[in-house]
Amino acid sequence: MASPGVELVRRMAAGDREALTAFYDLYAPLAFGLLRRMLRDVDDAAEVLQEVFWELWRAAGEYDPRRGSPEAWVTVRARSRGIDRVRSVRRREEMFVAPTRETTAAAPAATGNPSSVVEDREMARGVLRELPAEQREVIELAYLQGMTQSEISARLGLPLGTVKTRMRLGMERLRARAGSRT
C-alpha cells in the first residue's frame, strides 16, 4: 500500500479512535507546518489544526484513495481551513487595527515590498526552493495568503496574463519535481 494512512482512514471511518490518534501523530506535523506558514499567530494555527483533524475524523467515510493520498487529503483540508482563518483575521484586523500595521494574516501593504513578506512565510525549503523566485512568489501569495490571480497582479504590478503563466509554469515544475521524487 502506498501510504499507511489509507488503512488508518478506513479504520477511522469505522469509528476507531486509536486509528485517529495514529493518523494525527503521522499527519499533524504536515498540516501544522503549512498552517504556520499561513498564520503568524501560533495559537491561531493550533486552533485551526484541531478543527482540521476534527473534520477529517468526521469525514473519514468520504475519503476515496483513488482521488488522492492521505497527505493530499490532509493538506487540501488544512489549506482550506487555514485560508478561512486568514480571511477572518484579515477582516477582524481591517475593522479594529490601524491599516498601516502589518497584520497577522493580512496581505502586505500595497506600498511595501511584497517579496519581503513572502520570504517571511515562504515554504522555500525542499521542492519549492527549486522554483524560480518569480514563480514561487505567485504560488505562495495564492496558496498561503489566499490571494486571487487579479489581486496578485495588482499587488506585484504585473499583467494578469503574466501572473497566470508564472502560476502554471511553477505548478508544472512542482508536479514534475514531485513526480521524480516518488
Partner 1 sequence: MSAAHEPLDELVAGHVLGALEGEDASRFAAHLAAGCTECERAIVEYQEALAGAAADVREAPPARVRHALLERIGESPARRSRVGQALGWAASVALAAGIGAVVSASWVRARYEVRLEQMASEAAGLQAELAEQVRTVSDLRQRLGEQERTLTLVKAQAAEQERTLALLGDPETRLVMLGGLTPHPQAQARIIWNAHAGGLLVAADLPPLPEGKIYELWAIAGGKPLPAGLFGVDAQGKGRLAVAPLPGGASVDVFAVTLEPAGGVQSPTGAMYLASKKA
Footprint of partner 1 on this chain (CB under 8 A)? 13-17, 20-21, 24-25, 28-34, 36-37, 42, 45-46, 49-50, 53-54, 57, 61, 67-69, 71-72, 74-76, 78-80, 83, 123, 125-128, 139, 142-143, 146-150, 152, 164-165, 167-168, 170-172, 174-175, 177-179, 181
Q: What torsion, rounded to 10 degrees, do the Cα atoms 131, 132, 137, 140 define?
A: 0
Helix, strand, coil shares of the chain, percent, nearest 5, are 75, 0, 25
Q: How far is the CB of 131 from partner 1 (least distance, A)?
A: 9
Nearest residue to 24 (alpha-carbon basis) of 5, 39, 10, 43: 5
Q: How far is the CB of 128 from partner 1 (least distance, A)?
A: 5
Cβ atoms 155, 147 nearer than 8 A: yes
Q: How far is the CB of 65 from partner 1 (least distance, A)?
A: 11
The nearer residue to partner 1, 19 or 100, going by C-beta atoms, is: 19
